[in-house]
Amino acid sequence: MGGNAAAARALGDRVRTALLDQVPTVVYRVSWSVRREEGQSPQRDESTGTLVLDRIDVCRLESVPA
């Protein structure tokens, strides 16, 4: 975890690298690769007196019964 926007972006990039384009195995289902739907830049929140950076990315996993 980092204390600035660059660190939040770097963490988001690591998560996307681990998840995107992966095809999870789901018992009794046929799955397609994980895709990114949308996202936003890191948002600053200092309301607690400590800097917190939130970043939201929405991903999609589609599957059908096998």
pLDDT for position 40:
82
pLDDT, tens digit only, all 66 positions of the chain? 567 778 878 888 898 899 999 999 999 999 999 999 998 888 888 898 888 888 888 999 999 999
pTM of the prediction? 0.69
Residue closest to 62 by CA, chosen among 16, 15, 26, 14: 26
**Residue 38 identity:** E
CA 33 to chain centre: 14
pLDDT for position 26:
94
pLDDT for position 16:
87
User: Can you tell me which residue has the tokens 């949308």?
Assistant: 38
